[in-house]
Each structure stands twice: as C-alpha cells, then as structure tokens.
C-alpha cells in the first residue's frame, strides 16, 4: 500500500471516529436530558417516558376449598350446557329418548353441585355456584359457535348439529371425570378424596353411555381408531384407567375434505381455578 492510500484511509478512519463519537455523545446527552431527575433502579435499563403501573392478580392458595370450588364450577358448566342443548329441540324422532338421558345427566350434575357446595359450607368455606368462565371461554362457547353458527364471526352452522351436540356432551363428561381423577391425588383429606371418587365414577358412567350412543355395539366398547380421520373413536372403555390427557372434540360444518374443527379440552389449569377471590358475576 503506498503512502497516499495510507493517508487517505487514515483520514477516512479519523472522520468515521469523529462522526461516530459525535453521534454517541449527542445520543447520550439526549437520553440524559429525557431521564433527568429520574434514576433507574440498579440493574435495570433506563427508560424514556412514564410506564403506567400494572395490577396483577391476587395470590391464590391452591387448597382443598379451591379444588372443590373449581369442581363445582365444572358441574355448572355441564348444567348450563345441557340446558342450552335441550332448548335446541334436536332430540326428536328416533333420538327422542336421548332427551330423557340428557335430562337425567343434568339432574345428576345438579346433585353433584349441591353435594360439593354442602361440603364447602360444612368446612366454613365460600361456595362457588356458577359456571367456570375460563372453561366457557376456551371450550364451550367456541364449540357452540361451531355447532349453531355465528354470523358476526363468519361461522356457518354445523351440518350435523345432533352429532356435534353429542360429541360436546361426551367431551364435557370426560373432562369432568378426568378432573375428579386428578383432584383425588391433590385433596388432603380422605373424606374429600372419597367424595371426589364417587362423583368422578358417575361422570365416567355418563361418558360411557354417551360413547355407546355415538358408537354403539361391541365395536364401541374398547378403544379403536377411525380409518377416515385417524382419530380415536368414542368408546365406553377408552383405557384401563381414565385419561388425564387432552380430550379432542370435533364439531362444526364439515370442510371440503370432510373434516370438522377439533377443540382440545384439558383439566382446569392454575389460571382457571376458582380461587377464594373469584366471585360469581
């Protein structure tokens, strides 16, 4: 490299240095002016402007009362859903007898809710006698929109509403059964675990009856896979033990390929528990 080139490169480097340095100094001055009078806490980055305060959810303790309140809320989810289903008038003709079964299930859920509320009251706790809003928001409302249609959301009604209603009912009963099965391992008192097992056993029977109504006969007793969809068929005895995994419910208008929208239900998580601070609206 000759002397002229070296001198040219040196002048360019010096120019870049002064330009970059000047920009850095100007930026630092601007930030200092904006943040003047306000010191950032140690370990935090300085910020421009005012950050509005946020209010987090109260801390909730996951105890026996919360578990029983949450279980009660699921009973009201089922009660409200069965009421809506019966009002649709879908159980006619050959399916008229199913209306009696649905009414019986609704009555069982009402009895479960009453029994749980009695246990909570006896323990000097506060009952929670309404549906779980998170379960409605995540599972039931979307399912009913897919079944009944929602013009505002651009959702067409299902072409097989009775089939979908039965699938939703099976999903809710399976969800309830798996919830009680899970809560048995979390409840601290033997009498509470016994109560959960007793109610959970009835929810499992409901699910078995609905599974046989959807997929009747010997083929619907044990687990099997649908050859067209690749998904499990409803079965009265889906496994050796009740499932604690995801519960898939397929509802809504069939697509061009013949498939329906699948909703995945899960046992209530920590953000959907009926903590002491949760109130019925």
Mean pLDDT by 10 residues, the chain (281 residues): 43 43 44 48 57 64 96 98 95 88 97 98 96 97 97 95 96 96 95 97 95 88 81 77 79 92 91 92 78
SS3 breakdown of the chain: % helix, strand, coil, rounded to 5? 55, 5, 40
pLDDT of residue 45: 53
CA angle 264, 266, 270 (to 5 degrees): 135
Angstrom distance (rounded) from CA 89 to CA 95: 11
Task: Return the sign of the alpha-carbon dihedral for residues 162, 163, 167, 173.
Answer: positive
Compute the chain's Rg from CA coordinates. Answer: 30
Select from 102, 60, 72 the least CA-distant residue to 85: 102
Asked if 67 and 269 count as a contact pair (C-beta separation under 8 A), the reply is no
pLDDT of residue 56: 59
Six-digit token string for 80: 């409200």
pLDDT of residue 26: 43
Q: What is the DSSP letter of 239?
A: S
């Amino acid at each position: 490299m000759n002397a002229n080139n070296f001198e040219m490169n040196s002048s360019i480097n010096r120019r870049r240095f002064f330009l970059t340095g000047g920009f850095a100094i100007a930026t630092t001055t601007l930030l200092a002016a904006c943040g003047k009078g306000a010191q950032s806490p140690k370990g935090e980055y300085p910020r421009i402007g005012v950050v509005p305060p946020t209010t987090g959810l109260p801390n909730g303790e996951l105890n026996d009362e919360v578990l029983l309140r949450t279980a009660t809320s699921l009973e009201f989810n089922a009660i409200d859903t069965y009421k809506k289903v019966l009002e649709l008038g879908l159980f006619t003709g050959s399916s008229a007898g199913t209306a009696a079964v649905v009414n019986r299930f609704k009555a069982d859920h009402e009895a479960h809710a009453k029994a749980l509320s009695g246990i909570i009251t006896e323990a000097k706790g506060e009952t929670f006698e309404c549906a779980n809003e998170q379960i409605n928001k995540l599972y039931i409302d979307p399912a009913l929109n897919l079944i009944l249609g929602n013009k505002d959301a651009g959702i067409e009604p299902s072409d097989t509403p009775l089939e979908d209603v039965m699938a939703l009912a099976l999903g809710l009963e399976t969800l309830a059964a798996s919830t009680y099965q899970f809560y048995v391992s979390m409840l601290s008192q033997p009498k509470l675990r016994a109560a959960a097992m007793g109610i959970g056993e009835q929810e499992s029977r409901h699910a078995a009856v609905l599974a046989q109504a959807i997929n009747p006969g010997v083929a619907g007793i044990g687990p099997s896979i649908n050859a067209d969809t690749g998904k499990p068929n409803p079965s009265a005895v889906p496994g050796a033990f009740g499932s604690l995994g995801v519960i898939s419910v397929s509802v809504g208008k069939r697509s061009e390929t013949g498939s329906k929208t699948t909703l995945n239900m899960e046992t209530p998580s920590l953000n959907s528990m009926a903590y002491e601070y949760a109130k019925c609206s």
